[in-house]
Amino acid sequence: MNQLKHIAVAAFILLATVFITKYSSAENPWLIGFVVFSSLLFVTNILIRNSLAFKGYFTSRYNIFTAKYRKKIVVDLPPDLAFEKIKELLEDSEFKLKASDATSRQLLAVTPISLLSWGENLYFDFYPAGNKTEVEICSAAMFQVYTWGRNERNFNRFISSFENSLTI
């Protein structure tokens, strides 16, 4: 159902681009090219956002179309157990777990499209740190240069739910 919503949004953007390009009175090819390029980039971002394979693209410091927030936490659990615990927590949270890779210890969770945002991707990487685990979390906003604090709130909501899950 969520993928259908993404496809509908992408189709709407493409149709709007075609309409603007076809019926625009602007005769400037640079403006039309910019509108078409921006629309295609947006649609591409929406369609590929649910895959760990494109993590490098969304988290790259050179990608100026995504605002990013990175933070590391240390967990008093071994890496495999921390990976499973956070994966289980994401499956039961407001975030939607979209992809996981146990061999590389990576997780991808997303937030839905809303009136304030095109959604954010949350990437989790697990690194051994002695008998503990260092978890690097990156929240990347989809096609937004500024997030009005949404990336930080995603991190804080996750940390809060993680800490609550550890309480007995």
Q: For residue range 118-142, what is the model confidence (pLDDT) as tens digits?
A: 788 999 999 999 899 999 999 998 7
pLDDT tier at 143, thresholds 50, 70, 90: confident
Say which residue, 12 or 91, is predicted with more confidence. Answer: 91
pLDDT in tens, 56-114: 999 998 888 888 999 999 999 999 999 999 999 998 888 899 999 999 999 999 988 77
Nearest 5°: the CA angle 136, 139, 145 is: 140
The C-alpha angle 43, 60, 68, rounded to 5 degrees, equals 80
Cβ neighbour number for residue 47 with a 10 Å cutoff: 15
Residues sharing a CB contact under 8 Å with residue 65, sequence separation 6 or more, in sequence order: 41, 45, 143, 144, 145
Question: Residues with Cβ < 8 Å from 58, sequence gap 6 or more?
Answer: 45, 49, 66, 68, 121, 123, 140
What is residue 40's predicted lDDT score, i.e. its pLDDT?
A: 80
pLDDT reported for residue 6 = 59
User: Mapping DSSP to helix (H, G, I), strand (E, B) and coil, where does residue 8 land?
Assistant: helix
The mean of the pLDDT values for the chain is 83
- Which position has the higher pLDDT, 85 or 36? 85
- Amino acid 67: pLDDT: 86
User: Which one of 3-7, 68-72, 141-145 scores highest in mean pLDDT?
Assistant: 68-72
The pLDDT value given to residue 39: 78
d(CA 150, CA 7): 24
Q: Is the pLDDT reported for residue 117 higher than 80?
A: no
